[in-house]
Structure formats: C-alpha cells, structure tokens
C-alpha cells in the first residue's frame, strides 16, 4: 500500500471514529478490529504531532485540534473521491458512502423507498440514513445531504427548494361529531396536538379566496415526532395540522376527516442542502436526482 493511500486510510478511520463517537463502532463499520482502529488513530496523531481525541473509559471527545482536523480530513476525502471519479467508469464511480439526514415522516416512508431503489441500482453505495426533524450541525455530523422540511439555518450550504407540502387540519369523525359547526373558532376549543417546531398556539389559515384568519387552538399535546401527533388524532383525542400526503389514506378510509375543508395551514417547503465541496461527486448527484423524483410524486 502506498504512503498516500495509507494516509487517506488513517484519515478515513479518524473521520469515522469522530462521527460515530466510538472506536469500537467505527471499527465495526470499517471491518477492522478495535485494536487496529485504535492503532490507526494513534498513528495519525503521531504523524501530525497532535492529540486529536481525548479518551476516557466510557467516552471520547475531539480536541480543538481534532475539530479542525476533522473538517480538513473530510475535505481531503471528498477531493480524493472526485479525483478517482475523473478516471473511473460509472460502475467504479458509484461506490462509497452517502450520509443523509432526512425528516422523520418522509424519511421513514416515501424516501426510504427511494433510498432502497437507489441501492438496488448501485449496490456498492453505502447509505447512512439519519432521521431528524430538528436542526442539525451539518459539518459536525459529516453529512453529504440534508433533506429538510422548512428553512435550512446554515449559510455555508447550497440549498435547493424541491416541493411545497400542503397541510390541512384533520380530526377523527368521533371528535368532530361533538362539534356541530366546523369553523376555526369552534375547532379552537378542541384539544390540539402541536408538532414542534412547526405549530404552536397561533397558526395562520388561508381560505380559497386568499382571506386569512388566525387559528388559536387549545394545545393539549406537544411533540417533536409527527407519528406521535398522528396517533393522537387517530385516537380521537385531538385535532392537528398534518401534511396532506401523510393522511391521504386515512381520509380515503374515513378514519380522519378534513376538519376545515375551506381552510389550509401554511405550506412547508422541502429543501435539499449539501456542502459546496460535495456537490460534484457523482454518487451524490445521482442520489439527489432519485430523492428529487420521489419528492415530486407528492405534488
């Protein structure tokens, strides 16, 4: 093995240890023994003349030098991938890891199917699939792609809007039967399941003519998990704002009703974001195209 390749291997091991927060977990990912991964980390620290990670019995943490090294190591690995792609055919290009952060509902349902379809076509691509609705620190997670519902609060990333998700106010027939008149004012008196960070105690509604009205529900259940909010409304306990695509089948089956068919909650933009350094890798381009096609089926 050449010295250059050896150095890249050390960098790859260090990056994986930093991302996993565990030498043993990184070793499993890389097909190494824990002792080998630990030796590679020590070798890199010796070559650089710095301590990258502080280790205790139960945890490890990056030093300040380690944080700088992590950013530069990722850039080096991306540069190497781009160089390899320059001289490789498509079969060779489509290999390696893609680390993705996706929203919980879309990532668990629609987009996981898209990821599986991608891997059927490109089985040598390893996908690290992280589900998270909240904000993340992209660089610290070492992501290649962030699929985000709502704004992306990171000015260092390239952000491309893909679709707008339509949202409606839904409830079970049993709960609505207790409420003869379905209006924003009457529904505001019913228990409401709020999905953080998108809903709270004040939701602007728009009707078919463009008129606006403030919906101020009685929030009785708050969660950061959309499936928990979904279960709450299916149980008949509460009203909630839901993405139309997620409750489409519930509406068709009569398990839920559109509580305010003349009104809509604000649409939510679905964005894809990635770092400028990663934008040219062929496997990321192909994966983004697959994800984009899948999202566009919701329109």
**In the prediction, which pLDDT does 198 show?**
76
Instruction: Looking at mean pLDDT, say which of 164-168, 185-189, 195-199, 201-205 comes out highest.
Output: 164-168
Residue with tokens 């620190």: 137
**In the prediction, which pLDDT does 22 show?**
86
Residue with tokens 């463009």: 210
Q: Compute the CA torsion angle 219, 223, 228, 234 (nearest 10 deg).
A: 10
Between 296 and 56, name the one with better pLDDT. Answer: 296
**What whole-number distance in Å separates Cα of residue 48 and Cα of residue 161?**
41
**In the prediction, which pLDDT does 277 show?**
65
As a whole number, mean pLDDT of residues 218-222 equals: 91
Tokens of 35: 């002792």
As a whole number, mean pLDDT of residues 275-293 equals: 82
Between 27 and 292, name the one with better pLDDT. Answer: 292
Tokens of 290: 């697959």
**In the prediction, which pLDDT does 230 show?**
96
**What whole-number distance in Å separates Cα of residue 288 and Cα of residue 286?**
6
- Establish how many alpha carbons lie within 13 A of residue 90's alpha carbon, considering only the half-sphere containing its beta carbon: 4
CA 191 to chain centre: 29
As a whole number, mean pLDDT of residues 160-177 equals: 93
**In the prediction, which pLDDT does 89 show?**
61
Lowest mean pLDDT among 32-41, 220-229, 255-264, 280-289: 280-289
Lowest mean pLDDT among 70-74, 80-84, 237-241: 80-84
**In the prediction, which pLDDT does 279 show?**
57
**What whole-number distance in Å separates Cα of residue 45 and Cα of residue 179?**
67
As a whole number, mean pLDDT of residues 271-286 equals: 81
**In the prediction, which pLDDT does 236 show?**
93
As a whole number, mean pLDDT of residues 103-108 equals: 94
Per-position b or e across 196-205, b if 16+ CB within 10 A of its CB: eebbeeebeb
Between 198 and 46, name the one with better pLDDT. Answer: 46
**In the prediction, which pLDDT does 137 show?**
85
Q: Above 90 in pLDDT, residue 83?
A: no
Q: Above 80 in pLDDT, residue 280?
A: no
269 close to 150: Cβ distance less than 8 angstroms = yes
Lowest mean pLDDT among 148-157, 258-267, 274-283: 274-283
**In the prediction, which pLDDT does 101 show?**
95
**In the prediction, which pLDDT does 5 show?**
44
Lowest mean pLDDT among 127-131, 134-138, 275-279: 275-279
| Average per-residue pLDDT for the chain | 87
Segment 199-216, tens digit of pLDDT: 777 889 999 888 999 888
Share of the chain above pLDDT 90, in %: 45
Query: Which of 73, 261, 85, 266 minimizes the C-alpha distance to 183?
Result: 261
**In the prediction, which pLDDT does 92 show?**
58
As a whole number, mean pLDDT of residues 252-264 equals: 94
- Distances 122 to 29, 94, 283, 289 between C-alpha atoms, Å: 19, 6, 9, 14
Q: Above 90 in pLDDT, residue 221?
A: yes
**What whole-number distance in Å separates Cα of residue 98 and Cα of residue 272?**
14
């Amino acid at each position: 093995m050449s010295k250059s390749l050896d150095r890249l291997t050390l960098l790859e091991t260090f990056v994986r240890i930093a991302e996993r927060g565990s030498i043993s977990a990184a070793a499993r990912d890389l097909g190494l023994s824990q002792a080998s991964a630990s030796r590679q980390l020590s070798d890199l620290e010796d070559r650089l003349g710095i301590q990258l990670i502080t280790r205790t019995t139960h945890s490890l943490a990056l030093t300040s030098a380690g944080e700088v090294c992590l950013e530069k190591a990722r850039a080096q690995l991306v540069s190497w991938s781009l160089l390899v792609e320059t001289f490789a055919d498509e079969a060779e290009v489509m290999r390696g890891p893609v680390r993705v952060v996706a929203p919980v509902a879309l990532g668990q349902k629609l987009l996981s199917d898209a990821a599986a379809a991608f891997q059927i076509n490109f089985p040598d691509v390893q996908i690290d699939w992280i589900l998270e609705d909240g904000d993340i620190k992209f660089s610290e997670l070492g992501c290649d792609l962030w699929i985000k519902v709502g704004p992306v609060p990171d000015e260092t990333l390239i952000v491309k809007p893909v679709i707008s998700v339509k949202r409606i106010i839904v409830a079970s027939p049993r709960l609505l039967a207790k409420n003869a008149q379905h209006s924003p004012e009457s529904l505001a008196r019913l228990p409401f399941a709020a999905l953080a960070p998108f809903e709270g105690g004040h939701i602007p509604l728009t009707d078919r003519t463009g008129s606006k009205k403030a919906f101020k529900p009685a929030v009785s259940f708050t969660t950061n998990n959309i499936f928990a909010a979904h279960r709450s409304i299916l149980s008949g306990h509460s009203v909630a704002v839901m993405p139309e695509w997620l409750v489409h089948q519930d509406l068709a089956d009569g398990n839920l009703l559109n509580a305010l068919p003349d009104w809509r909650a604000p649409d939510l933009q679905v964005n894809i974001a990635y770092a400028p350094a990663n934008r040219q890798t062929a496997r990321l381009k192909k994966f983004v195209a697959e994800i984009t096609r899948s999202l566009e089926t919701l329109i």
